[in-house]
Amino acid sequence: MHFALPEDLQQFQQLARTFAQEYVAPRARKWDADKWIDDELFVKAGELGLLGVYVPEEYGGCGQGLLAMAIITEELARHCGATALAITAHNGLGCGHIKLAGSKEQHQRWLPKLAKGPELAAWCLTEPHCGSDAAALTTRAEKKNGGWVLNGQKLFITSARRAAVLVVMARTKPEGGKDGISAFVVEKGTPGLILGEPEDKLGCRGSDTVPV
Ligand SMILES: Cc1cc2nc3c(=O)[nH]c(=O)nc-3n(C[C@H](O)[C@H](O)[C@H](O)COP(=O)(O)OP(=O)(O)OC[C@H]3O[C@@H](n4cnc5c(N)ncnc54)[C@H](O)[C@@H]3O)c2cc1C
Q: Which atom of ligand 1 is nearest to the CA of 93?
A: 8
Tell me, what's the pLDDT at 90? 98
Q: Which atom of ligand 1 is nearest to the CA of 154?
A: 11
Tell me, what's the pLDDT at 2? 80
- ipTM of this predicted complex? 0.95
Span 5-22, pLDDT tens digits: 999 999 999 999 999 999
Q: Which ranges in the chain are annotated with CATH 1.10.540.10?
A: 7-119
Q: For the chain, give the longest Cα–Cα distance.
A: 59
**In which band, very low, low, confident or very high, does the pLDDT at 195 lie, cut at 50, 70 and 90?**
very high
Q: Which of 132, 125, 37 is nearest to 81 (CA)?
A: 37
Our measurement of the distance from residue 169's CA atom to the centroid of its chain's CA atoms, rounded to an integer in Å, reads 14
Span 78-87, pLDDT tens digits: 999 999 999 9
**In which band, very low, low, confident or very high, does the pLDDT at 177 lie, cut at 50, 70 and 90?**
confident
**In which band, very low, low, confident or very high, does the pLDDT at 132 lie, cut at 50, 70 and 90?**
very high
Q: Which ranges in the chain are annotated with CATH 2.40.110.10?
A: 122-210
User: Ligand 1: which of 85, 126, 186, 204 to mutate, most ligand atoms within 8 Å of CB?
Assistant: 126
Output the CA 133–ligand 1 centroid distance in Å: 8
CATH code of the region 7-119: 1.10.540.10
Q: Which atom of ligand 1 is nearest to the CA of 126?
A: 11
Q: For the domain with range 122-210, which CATH number is right: 2.10.60.10, 2.60.40.2550, 3.40.225.10, 2.40.110.10? A: 2.40.110.10
Show Cβ contacts of residue 95 under 8 Å, excluding neighbours closer than 6 positions: 51, 52, 54, 55, 111, 114, 115, 120, 121
User: Ligand 1: which of 83, 127, 156, 181 to mutate, most ligand atoms within 8 Å of CB?
Assistant: 156
- DSSP for 115-156, written as a single string: HH-SSEEEEE--BTTBSS-GGG---EEEEETTEEEEE----S
Tell me, what's the pLDDT at 175? 81
The proportion of the chain whose per-residue pLDDT surpasses 90, expressed as a percent, equals 95
